Amino acid sequence: MIRTIVSVDGMACGMCEAHINDAIRAALPVKKVTSSRTKKETVILSDESLDQEAVKRAITGSGYTPLSVTEEAVEKKGLFHWGKE
- Structural domain of residue 68, as residue ranges? 2-73
Question: So what's the pLDDT on residue 85?
Answer: 46
Residue 62 within any structural domain of the chain: yes
pLDDT, tens digit (0-9, with 9 covering 90-100), for 8-64: 999 999 999 999 999 999 999 999 999 999 999 999 999 999 999 999 999 999 999
CATH number at 63 reads 3.30.70.100
Q: Residue 6: how many CB atoms within 10 A of its CB? A: 26
For the entire predicted model, the pTM comes to: 0.86
pLDDT, tens digit (0-9, with 9 covering 90-100), for 59-81: 999 999 999 999 999 986 665 55
The domain tally of the chain equals: 1
Residue 84 within any structural domain of the chain: no
Residue 79 within any structural domain of the chain: no
The residues, ordered by sequence, that sit 6+ positions from 69 with a Cβ below 8 Å of its Cβ are 4, 5, 6, 7, 52, 55, 56
